[in-house]
Structure 1
Amino acid sequence: MVVFKDRTDAGKRLAEELEEYAGRDDVILLALPRGGVPVAFEVAKELDLELDVFIVRKLGVPGYEELAMGAISSGGVKVMNMSVVDSLQISGEDIDSVVEAERKELERREELYRKGKAKLDVTGRTAILIDDGLATGATMKAAVQALRAQKPENIVVAVPTASKEACEEFAADVDKTVCLTTPEPFYGVGAWYEDFAQTSDREVCDLLKKAEDMNR
């Protein structure tokens, strides 16, 4: 089974599978921060493509934050996993509390990562959403729904690793999916990276600046 050294290695391998989009002005890479940014940066560098971010926040179950009960994204989109909400009997009050906290973080990241940049415009373009992996897919699902409202020509979801279920689900929702590995049992995204250290805000900002400089 493929194991990636780190997100940089994963991005280089992902670029090989996205070669058909190289150098195209009608294509934009949209990274899901923070972990998706170093992956997408390598794709942008290898294929000479524009890179931006699409801000999405997972809604973690109170007390079990790694378990997603939904997600929110730019544009006011909220996606809930009602099977998780119902099975754990999560109250509306608890959901509202988590949503409010994550909305504040989403707004903070919008200001920090996209400060000074023109409003994202994907109309008529092929938008490739990139993350470091998909487990439940809740975060990516919110991104896809929010992005579709902005009328891109095509939406592509591309990740180094994903659960088989998540990858198959997106195949029906978007124009194309690229999942380099769908190991079973999946365990989690981090299980397929030798180094899965958290990506910092500084690293995200540095990589976005480098990508912007490359496109000048």
Structure 2
Amino acid sequence: MGTIIDDPRLRERRSVFTDRHDAGRQLGDLVRTLPGVRDPLVFAIPARGVPVGVEVAWALGAPLALAVVRKIQVPGKTEAGLGAVTWDGRVLINTDLQRALGLTEEVIGIATEKARENVQDRITRFRAGTKLPDPAGKTCILTDDGLASGFTMLAALESLRNRHHVKILVAVPTASAGSAEIVSREVDKLICLNIRTGPCFAVAEAYKRWYELSDGQVIAELSYARPGAKPRDPPPPSRAGP
């Protein structure tokens, strides 16, 4: 089990970040103080993890890449996650939830195919023909705007770890205590500023301003993480809200 690093001042609190950029800046400030983070490469899970990843990458002076993962949605409940599909076609299913909901393999297959199509569409839109950088010899840092069930992050970790023998950290602004513990078992370190316990958890509750990002906003965000871009001058469009 990896080490969990949090901010004791933020435990159990809500509305602790102004927005994802504020969260990413605070997260980046913490990550860059950690020993052993050499030659970092930041991976952000789109769309919500991109503003966080932009700020972490700037704080570390690191390149930013996209770990394109899509949640497999429970039919009729778009916010509920049954599992995830990754950029290399890997599928991770929450079999306990599948049994609890009584979902057939046919239903799972249809939902998985929709997620797979979305992953390919996002790769085309957001990567613009570029390939993932080679992570060999680097400290890989996976970011998102938070961990609820943790299944999306676990799927990303599985794809990255199984293809490359690299040091992996997960850095997120907020997480449920349960998901933080589960994900920490799969990484060298899990860095999470705001950990909350209790039966009900929502990533959005950690933010004063939380909203969905359009594809256009994601692409604009990514332009600020490319070589030659000036950090926060002007501010990325998503800071102004949708």
Give the TM-score range, shorter chain. over 0.9
Alpha-carbon separation, structure 2, partners of 1:12 and 1:116: 29
Counterpart of 1:211 in 2: which secondary structure?
coil
Counterpart of 2:227 in 1: which secondary structure?
helix
Select the residue among 160, 185, 188 that pairs with 2:202: 188
Report the counterpart of residue 216 of structure 2 in structure 1.
202
Alpha-carbon separation, structure 1, partners of 2:141 and 2:220: 21
Report the counterpart of residue 111 of structure 1 in structure 2.
124
Alpha-carbon separation, structure 2, partners of 1:164 and 1:175: 17
Report the counterpart of residue 120 of structure 1 in structure 2.
133
Conserved 8 A contact 1:27-1:128: yes
Matched, 1:69 2:69: no
Conserved 8 A contact 1:50-1:211: yes
* Structure 2: 5+ residue stretches without partners: 1-12, 231-242
Conserved 8 A contact 2:65-2:132: no
Report the counterpart of residue 30 of structure 2 in structure 1.
17
Select the residue among 172, 178, 191 that pairs with 2:185: 172
Conserved 8 A contact 1:57-1:106: yes
Structure 1 residues 1-216: aligned runs within 5 Å: 1=13, 3-20=16-33, 26-185=39-198, 186-214=200-228
**Counterparts in 2 of 1:17 and 1:152: CA distance versus 1, 3 Å:** farther
The total of aligned residue pairs comes to 215
Q: What percent identity do the matched residue pairs reach?
A: 36
Deviation at 1:19, TM superposition (A): 1.1
Q: TM-score, normalised by structure 2?
A: 0.84
Conserved 8 A contact 1:122-1:150: no
Between the two structures, name the one with larger relative contact order (CA 8 Å, sep ≥ 6).
2
Deviation at 1:163, TM superposition (A): 0.3
**Counterparts in 2 of 1:95 and 1:156: CA distance versus 1, 3 Å:** same
> Hey, which bits of structure 1, 4+ residues long, moved more than 6 A?
none
* AA aligned opposite 1:114: R
1:175-208 superposed Cα distances (whole Å, 9 cap, x missing partner): 1100111123352101111111101211211121
* Structure 1: 5+ residue stretches without partners: none
* AA aligned opposite 1:7: R
Q: TM-score, normalised by structure 1?
A: 0.93
**Counterparts in 2 of 1:78 and 1:148: CA distance versus 1, 3 Å:** same
Conserved 8 A contact 1:27-1:49: yes
Deviation at 1:10, TM superposition (A): 0.5
Conserved 8 A contact 2:39-2:62: no
Q: Which moved more, 1:48-57 or 1:38-47?
A: 38-47
